[in-house]
Amino acid sequence: MAARDMTREAALSRLDHKHACHILLYADSQAKLFGKIPVKHIVLMQMRFDGLLGFPGGLVKPSEESLEAGLSRELQEELGASVPVTMDDYVSSHLAQSPPRLILHFYSKKIKEAELLEIERAAVLNAVDHGLEVLGLTRVPLYTLRNGGGLPWFLSHSFISNSRAQLLEALRRLDLMSPQALEEAVKKAEEMRH
Ligand code: GTP
Ligand code: MN
Ligand code: MN
Ligand code: MN
Ligand code: MN
Ligand code: MN
């Protein structure tokens, strides 16, 4: 476990801490960019009100709701869709660098491509936070074009808290990209930032 990671149990025993839950929703896809580059998987993130990229989700109140119920409530607000989240979808808990006393719980959940498309529509049509706390959903490009377009440029944007690390860790763990392709994209992104 990395330095600020903690177990779910240890996290929930911190009664004086705030808790937030966010989720990576993804689906397999047969779609091809320009009719030839396989998209392979659709991974959802969002452009937040503050101009930073992050995952859907938000603050939960463990004294009033389970982490999963709180996350589902946030998803209803931010995506305008009912996405049932269970303990099976739980990934990790992490003590935020800042602000102090904030614990970040992370989840991931695979859904069907049709469900994901439905969520994208609902996010515009139904979500009470659309255009307010959430400026829009975005997909994460998982390919790298010859000029560095795709994941390297995506990773060059600014991300909230540790959501960039959450994304990279999930892409590796869920095998959504080969370790080698991921490593190359991260390296390219690093070069682009200079
Ligand atoms: P309000 O409804 O305005 O309270 O916002 P919210 O409940 O949706 O909270 P938000 O999603 O902004 O998450 C709360 C805090 O968690 C943020 O202030 C960030 O510090 C952090 N955070 C937000 N998004 C992410 C994310 O995708 N990953 C991680 N690790 N942290 C995040
Ligand atoms: Mn075109
Ligand atoms: Mn919210
Ligand atoms: Mn939120
Ligand atoms: Mn909230
Ligand atoms: Mn809100």
Phi then psi for 176, rounded to 5 degrees? -85, -15
Peptide bond into 100 cis (omega under 30): no
Distance separating alpha carbons of residues 53 and 61, to the nearest angstrom: 23
- pLDDT tens sequence across 21-68: 999 999 999 999 999 999 999 999 999 999 999 999 999 999 999 999
Question: What is the percent of the chain with per-residue pLDDT over 70, rounded to a whole number?
Answer: 99
Q: Give residue 74's pLDDT.
A: 98
Q: Which residues line ligand 1 (CB under 6 A)?
A: 20, 22, 54-55, 57-59, 74, 96, 104, 133, 160-163, 166
Question: Is the pTM value of this prediction over 0.80?
Answer: yes
- Predicted complex ipTM: 0.96
**pLDDT < 70 positions in the chain:** 194
Asked whether 45 and 65 are in contact (CB, 8 A), the reply is no
Helix (H) / strand (E) element for 110: namely strand 102-110
Which residue's CA is minimally distant from atom 28 of ligand 1?
A: 163
Q: How many residues comprise the chain?
A: 194
